[in-house]
C-alpha cells in the first residue's frame, strides 16, 4: 500500500502536532477492501519516532518490549482518542504504552503480574525534580561508601551471578537507598540499582534470561576476547561509580521526558496486578464499567517468554520476591511456562477449531496441551475484563504474534478475533509488522518457535442498544 505521500507530509510536522487519523483511515480502507491483513513497517510509517535511546523508554531493560512507534501512531489519532483520555495497558510490561500515553497528554492506566514491570512503568512516567535526584544520588553514594556492613540480600544462586566483593557493595547501596523515605524518588533509585545489579552480574548481557557468561571452545576468537575482557572488568569494577553512571544516564533520560511532557501532570494509575481483575488500586474496588477510552496492549505470548525468570535477579534485589517465591509469581502470570498435572485448569470453553488444535498437540505432548489450553482460557478471561471497562464506541488494540506448539500453529490473532467478536467488538483493522529486534526472537522451549512477525488488531466496541 502506497503511503509515501502522507509519510512525507507527516515527517515535516512537529511530532506533537501530528494527527494520524488520515493514515489510519487509509489503512482501514485497504483492509475493508481486500479483507486481508495489511502489511506495514511501523518504523518507517512512524518515522518521527526515532529508534534507540529517547525519553525514558530505556530507563531499564525488559524482555520483549513493544515497539513505541505502534503506541505513538494510535495515540496521535484524534479519530480514536480525544484529549486527556484514559488509556489502559493491562499487560503493561516496561510501560511503553504508558509513556507514549503520558507524552500525548493522556492518563495511563496500567496492570501487570510482574511488580518490576509496574515499577518501571510508574517511574518512567513520573515528572521528577532533576535537582533533587542529583542531590539524593550524591547522598546515597556517600552513605554507601561509609557503611562497613549491610543486611544480606538473598539472590537466587548468588554464587553463580556475583563475586562476593560486588554483592557486598551492592548490598551497601541497597541499605543506603532503603534509608530514604518511601516515595517515588526512592523508587527511581531502586530502578537504577536494579540496572546496576544486572550489569555487574556474571549474566550474559545479550540474553534477557540470566545465562552465565563463559568462554566456550565453540566460540570464535572475537567473541571469546569480548567475554574475557568483560570478566576481567568485573574483577576490578567500582560498584558505586557504576551505580552513579546509571543514575546520571537515567536523569538525562528523565530530563528529556520532562521537556517532552511540557508540563503534563497526568499521573500513571496502577489498576491491579492481574488483567483479569482490574481495580481502582492494586487492592481497591473494581474498576468501573465503561471508563476506558482506549486500550493498547501486547499480551504475553504462549510459549514465547520467560518473563519472571528474565527479571529474577531484579525481583530479588528489590525485595519483590525471594528466591523461594519466584515460582509463585510465575504461577499467577498468564502465559506461564509450567502447569503441573495436579492443577485444575480454569473453566472455559474453546471453539471447535482450537479444541481440534489442542487435541493434535495433546497427542504429541500432553504437558504442552495443558499449558496452551490454560493460556487460551486465561487470555479470554483477561479480554472479558478489558472489554468490561472499555467505553461503548471505544477501541481495543492488541499486538500479538502467532507461534508454533509441537509443530502446530497457534493462531493467537484468530483466537482474539473470536473472543472479542463474542464480546460485541468489531474488527476494523488487521496489520502485520515484522519483528526486527525484540526479546521474543528466541525459543522458549524445544517445542516452540521463533516469532518473526506480529499482528496489530484494532477492535471497536459496538454502541450498546438495549431491548
CA distance linking residue 415 with residue 380, whole number of Å: 9
> In which order are the strands placed within the sheet that holds 390-400?
38-39, 425-434, 453-461, 390-400, 292-297, 86-89, 107-110, 269-270
Give span(s): CATH 3.40.50.150, the chain. 4-127+264-461
CA distance linking residue 129 with residue 88, whole number of Å: 26
CA distance linking residue 288 with residue 300, whole number of Å: 25
**C-beta of residue 199 within 8 angstroms of C-beta of residue 313:** no
Per-residue pLDDT of the chain (467 residues; tens, 9 = 90+): 556 555 554 554 556 678 999 999 999 999 999 999 999 999 999 999 988 888 999 999 998 899 999 999 999 999 999 988 999 999 999 999 999 999 999 999 999 999 999 999 999 999 999 999 999 999 999 999 999 999 999 999 999 999 999 999 999 999 999 999 999 999 999 999 999 999 999 999 988 889 999 888 888 888 889 999 999 999 999 999 999 999 999 999 999 999 998 767 678 999 999 999 999 987 789 999 999 999 999 998 765 457 888 999 999 999 999 999 998 888 888 887 777 666 666 666 899 999 999 999 999 999 899 999 999 999 999 999 999 999 999 999 999 999 899 999 999 999 999 999 999 999 999 999 987 644 433 444 444 445 578 999 999 999 865 54
Q: 290-293: long-range contacts (C-beta < 8 A, 24 or more apart)?
A: 290/389, 290/390, 290/391, 290/392, 290/394, 291/86, 291/389, 291/391, 292/86, 292/87, 292/88, 292/109, 292/389, 292/390, 292/391, 292/394, 293/81, 293/82, 293/85, 293/86, 293/87, 293/391, 293/394, 293/395
CA distance linking residue 430 with residue 305, whole number of Å: 24
* Residue 391: all three cell numbers together: 467505553
CA distance linking residue 417 with residue 37, whole number of Å: 13
Q: What pTM does this model have?
A: 0.92
Any idea what DSSP says for residue 91? Answer: T
| CATH class of the domain at 4-127+264-461 | alpha beta
Amino acid at each position: 500500500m502506497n503511503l509515501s505521500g502522507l509519510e512525507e507530509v507527516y515527517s515535516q510536522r512537529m511530532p506533537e502536532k501530528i494527527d494520524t487519523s488520515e493514515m489510519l483511515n487509509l489503512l482501514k480502507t485497504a483492509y475493508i477492501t481486500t479483507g486481508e491483513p495489511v502489511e506495514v513497517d511501523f518504523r518507517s510509517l512512524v518515522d518521527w519516532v526515532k529508534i534507540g535511546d529517547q525519553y525514558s523508554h530505556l530507563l531499564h531493560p525488559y524482555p520483549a518490549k513493544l515497539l513505541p512507534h505502534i503506541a505513538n501512531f494510535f495515540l496521535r489519532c484524534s479519530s480514536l482518542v480525544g484529549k486527556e483520555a484514559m488509556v489502559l495497558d493491562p499487560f503493561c510490561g516496561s510501560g511503553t504504552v504508558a509513556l507514549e500515553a503520558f507524552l500525548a497528554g493522556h492518563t495511563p492506566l496500567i496492570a501487570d503480574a510482574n511488580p518490576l514491570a509496574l515499577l518501571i512503568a510508574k517511574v518512567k512516567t513520573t515528572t521528577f525534580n532533576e535537582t533533587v535526584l542529583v542531590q539524593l544520588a550524591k547522598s546515597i553514594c556517600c552513605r554507601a561508601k561509609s557503611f562497613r556492613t549491610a543486611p544480606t540480600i538473598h539472590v537466587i544462586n548468588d554464587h553463580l551471578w556475583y563475586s562476593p566483593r560486588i554483592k557486598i557493595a551492592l548490598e551497601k547501596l541497597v541499605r543506603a537507598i532503603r534509608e530514604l523515605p518511601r516515595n517515588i524518588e526512592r523508587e527511581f533509585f531502586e530502578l537504577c540499582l536494579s540496572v546496576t545489579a544486572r550489569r555487574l552480574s556474571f549474566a550474559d548481557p545479550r540474553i534477557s534470561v540470566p545465562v552465565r557468561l563463559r568462554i566456550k571452545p565453540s566460540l570464535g576468537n572475537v567473541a571469546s576476547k569480548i567475554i574475557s575482557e568483560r570478566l576481567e572488568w568485573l574483577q576490578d569494577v567500582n560498584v558505586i561509580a557504576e551505580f552513579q553512571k546509571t543514575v546520571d544516564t537515567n536523569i538525562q533520560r528523565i530530563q528529556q521526558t520532562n521537556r517532552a511532557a511540557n508540563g503534563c501532570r497526568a499521573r500513571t494509575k496502577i489498576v491491579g496486578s492481574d488483567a483479569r481483575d482490574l481495580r481502582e488500586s492494586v487492592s481497591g474496588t473494581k474498576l468501573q464499567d465503561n471508563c476506558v477510552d482506549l486500550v493498547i496492549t501486547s499480551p504475553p505470548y504462549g510459549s514465547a517468554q520467560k518473563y519472571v525468570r528474565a527479571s529474577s535477579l531484579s525481583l530479588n534485589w528489590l525485595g519483590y520476591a525471594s528466591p523461594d517465591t519466584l515460582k509463585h509469581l510465575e504461577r499467577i502470570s498468564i502465559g506461564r511456562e509450567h502447569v503441573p498435572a495436579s492443577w485444575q485448569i480454569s473453566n472455559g470453553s474453546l471453539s471447535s477449531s482450537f479444541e481440534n488444535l489442542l487435541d493434535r498437540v495433546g497427542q504429541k505432548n500432553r504437558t504442552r496441551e495443558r499449558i496452551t489450553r490454560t493460556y487460551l482460557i486465561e487470555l479470554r478471561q483477561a479480554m472479558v475484563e478489558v472489554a468490561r471497562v472499555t467505553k461503548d464506541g471505544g477501541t481495543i488494540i492488541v499486538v500479538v504474534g502467532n507461534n508454533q506448539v509441537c509443530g502446530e500453529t497457534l493462531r493467537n490473532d484468530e483466537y482474539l478475533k473470536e473472543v472479542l467478536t463474542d464480546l460485541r467488538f468489531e474488527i476494523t483493522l488487521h496489520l502485520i509488522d515484522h519483528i526486527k529486534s525484540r526479546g521474543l526472537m528466541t525459543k522458549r522451549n524445544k517445542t516452540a518457535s521463533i516469532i518473526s512477525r506480529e499482528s496489530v488488531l484494532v477492535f471497536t466496541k459496538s454502541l450498546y442498544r438495549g431491548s
